[in-house]
Every structure is written in C-alpha cells, then in structure tokens.
Amino acid sequence: MDSRQKSVFVVCGDLRPLGRRQFLRTSATATLGFITAVAYAKPARTKIERIELFPVRYPTKGYFKFFTGPRGSYGRGAVIVKITADQGAVGWGQSIPSPLWSYETLETDTTVMADYLAPALIGHDPLDIDGAHRAMDRAPAPGFSTAMPIARSGLDMALHDLAGRIRGQSLPQMWNRPAGGEVKLSWTVNARTLDEAETVIDTGYECGYSNFNIKVAPDPKFDVELARLVRQRAPEGFLWADANGGYDPATALEAAPKLDEAGVDVLEAPLRPNRISGYRALKKQGALPILMDEGVVSPVELTEFIRLEMLDGLAMKPCRCGGLAPAKRQIEIILDAGLVWLGSGLTDPDISMAAALGLYGAFGLTKPAALNGPQFLTADVLEKPLTITKGSVKVPEGPGLGIEVDEEKVNELMKRTTNSRPIQI
C-alpha cells in the first residue's frame, strides 16, 4: 500500500478512513485483544453443590478389639460421604472413626463434617484438592496436628473420586504414577489365647492367606509365644507385630529382641507416639525395624520424627492422616529418606479400602497390606464388591477410586444402624 493512500476499515462498527500508521496501531490492538480473549477464555468453573453424609455401622464377624461401641453396640462405624458438583458429577468417600483407637467417634465425625468441614467446601472447585485442604484447615483449626483427620479423610477421598470422574482419570493417572496391579493382604491374628490363635491362623490359610499381622501388648511373654506359633505355621510369610502403643518403654526394649528371635519382621507402634526418648532408644537398639503409626497424622510431624531418629519406617493409613493427599506426601517423604513404608488400615470398609488400594498400587507396595476389612466385615455398599483371591486383591482401575457405589445398599445399611439418618449440607 502506498504510504500516501488512505484506506477504509471497519473497527467496532465505525466506518472511517485511516492512515497507514493509525491502521497498524488499531489493527494490532484489535488482533491482540482477540488473541488475549481466546487465550484466557475458561470453561465455567465446576463447583461443589452439596455434600451428603450417611452415618452407618457395618456388621462384623469374629473378634476384634476395636469394634465395641457405646452402650454395648458392636460394629464398624463409618460415615459415607457423597459430594455432588453443580454439573451433576458425584464422588464418594468414607470416614472410619475408631474410638478405641483414636479420639474420633461416629457421632463426633458426623457432627464435625456436617457443621464445619463440609460447609467449608460448598462452592469450592472440586479439582482444587490442595485448596480444599487449606479450607478444611480453617474449620476447625489444627491443634498439634491436623484437626479431626479421620473425619477429614472421607471428604478427601470423595474429592479425589469426584475429580477423577470429572477428568476421566484413575488415582495413578491423576498423580502421574503407574497403574497398580494386585496388592497382597495380611491376615490379622487378634487372639486372646493360643488355641484361639490356631483357629484364626487356620481360617486365614483356608482363605488363601500366607502372611500374618499379630496384635501384641501389653504382655510380652504371651506375645512371643504367639509370634512363635504364627511363624511355625507360616515359615515363609511376612510377620508383622503391631502393639498399638501398648508397651511402656522398658517393656518394649525387653520385648523387641525376643520378638525378633521368634520370627517377627517388623514392630509397629510399640509405644504411644509422645514417648520420643523411648522410640529413639528402640531405634538405636536395632533389634527390629520400628514403624510408627498412631501420632503420625501430617507430613510435618513425620518429617520431625525422622529428624529425631525415632523410626525406621511408617505404617501408612490414608484414613488416619486426613486422606489421600497427605498420605501420598508422607510416602514420598519416606521414600526420599530411604525408609520403609507398609500399607495398613483401620478395618477399612469398601470405599475407604478402594482408596487405600489405589494409593498403595500407585506406589508399588510389595509387602502385604494389613487391610483386614474383608476378614471382619459382612456387608458392602458397592455395585461390584472388591474380591479377594488367594490373599490378594486387584486394585480398582476405573476413574476416581475405581468403584461404583450402590446407593440403595447405603440406604439399607442406614436402616440397620440405630438412630441413623442422612444429612445434607
């Protein structure tokens, strides 16, 4: 175009002659504005529309010391969580309080979720899981560590399930991890007599299990005999002793070498987690690898306990530490430190167990996991229940947690639970 010529262009509906330089400035601005508008255009943000809570008690079989509830009630309490986004997508999770193991109960978890944690998530972007945890940090505020971590874990699991369904990704895909295959399981021996232990071991073998975890403490003499019995019956299996904080420091130092001689491979939670000097003494003694469990809730105290040389590894429970996001970070910390991690649970029912399996499979767990829900629970809420074959379970592969919840089964389980009603936030 000759610089002396004038041109006519329509800009925003205004027909007027423009000089060459004026046209170039106007044209560039208009083009940049269009490109900017396209580049920054975003689809409508998905929001959490409502959260529903279903307090239930799963019926149980066999003896397990953590099942007794208030006023003689018995069963595995759980709060099933359903999160619905404004576009209709749904995610499921499960909080599994255990008042004989922690301070959280079915009643307190239901109240805290209904009145504090769940309202903090309404209107939140379900894909922003880190932001959801920050919101839950403020309602209620943390104490020594994360507040009400078991209650919080059910919301975290439901968020992961919902985010995975929106994205069409499984847990490993969301984390850029390889897909899990099968996870070996460990059979729990919580026996009050050696004769009872033999029966429990036989039942485990009949169900295809060859690896065992035993509940020990406070009596080290009985514990050593129990360990010898299991090792005799399972000479090649992995044998894991869990004291649930039941020894005092002197007894633990006495028991650890004897349990080692009896064939135990690792000792979990020999002391209460605030016995820092006791844990350091046990680790220094070196009779058995010392794993911590109770007391390790967030990545913060795990990092501090590692610095204090209190542990050789960690028994991981997503249901204990606020859900999958903090559990994943704890596994990463353990791996970076070159320590041991094992997969465990709180007699997880189906939804929580599926979440744990997704995590353990994604990080390639090779040792048998102490996920004993199938051993003790007699009900499920899934369209297709998890199945155990020869002591192993396949990691669910679908989007989110990889499972489909049957809401009719949820409602039926609520009908069987005394004084239970659904709550909508």
159 plus 184 within the same structural domain: no
154 plus 180 within the same structural domain: no
Per-residue pLDDT of the chain (425 residues; tens, 9 = 90+): 433 333 332 333 333 344 433 433 443 334 434 333 433 444 568 999 999 999 999 999 988 777 766 666 668 999 999 999 999 999 999 999 998 889 999 999 999 999 999 999 999 999 999 999 999 999 898 888 999 999 999 999 999 999 999 999 999 999 999 988 899 999 999 999 999 999 999 999 999 999 999 999 999 999 999 999 999 999 999 999 999 999 999 999 999 999 999 999 999 999 999 999 999 999 999 999 999 999 999 999 999 999 999 999 999 999 999 999 999 999 999 999 999 999 999 999 999 999 999 999 999 999 999 999 999 999 999 999 999 999 999 999 999 999 999 999 999 999 998 888 999 99
Any domain includes 140:
yes
Q: How many angstroms separate the CA atoms of 259 and 267, rounded?
A: 8
Q: Which of 322, 328, 342 is nearest to 133 (CA)?
A: 322
In sequence order, the β-bridge partners of residue 242 are: 215, 268
Residue 358 sits in a domain whose CATH number is: 3.20.20.120
Q: How many angstroms separate the CA atoms of 171 and 416, rounded?
A: 32
333 plus 236 within the same structural domain: yes
Which residues, 6+ apart, have CB-to-CB distance to 399 below 8 Å? 164, 165, 167, 168, 169, 170
Report CA dihedral (299, 301, 304, 309) to the nearest 10 degrees: -100
Residue 97 sits in a domain whose CATH number is: 3.30.390.10
Report CA dihedral (244, 248, 254, 255) to the nearest 10 degrees: -20
Maximum separation of any 2 CA atoms in the chain, in Å: 107
220, two tokens:
């080290």
| pLDDT given at position 419 | 81
Q: How many angstroms separate the CA atoms of 37 and 43, rounded?
A: 13
| pLDDT given at position 420 | 85
- pTM value is 0.88
Structural domain containing residue 100: 48-169+409-424
Task: Give the total number of structural domains in the chain.
Answer: 2
397 plus 413 within the same structural domain: no
124 plus 182 within the same structural domain: no
Q: How many angstroms separate the CA atoms of 209 and 246, rounded?
A: 26
CB atoms within 10 A of CB 171: 30
| pLDDT given at position 4 | 38
249 plus 358 within the same structural domain: yes
132 plus 188 within the same structural domain: no
Any domain includes 10:
no
Q: Which of 220, 227, 237, 241 is nearest to 194 (CA)?
A: 227
180 conformational bin, left if phi > 0, alpha if psi -120 to 50, beta if neither: beta
179 plus 311 within the same structural domain: yes
128 plus 192 within the same structural domain: no
Q: Which of 112, 102, 107 is nearest to 71 (CA)?
A: 107
Any domain includes 147:
yes
Q: Side-chain half-sphere of 222: how many Cα atoms within 13 Å? A: 15
| pLDDT given at position 418 | 80
Q: How many angstroms separate the CA atoms of 109 and 100, rounded?
A: 14
Any domain includes 415:
yes
Could you give phi then psi for residue 16, rounded to 5 degrees?
-160, 155
Q: Which of 296, 307, 254, 313 is nearest to 278 (CA)?
A: 254
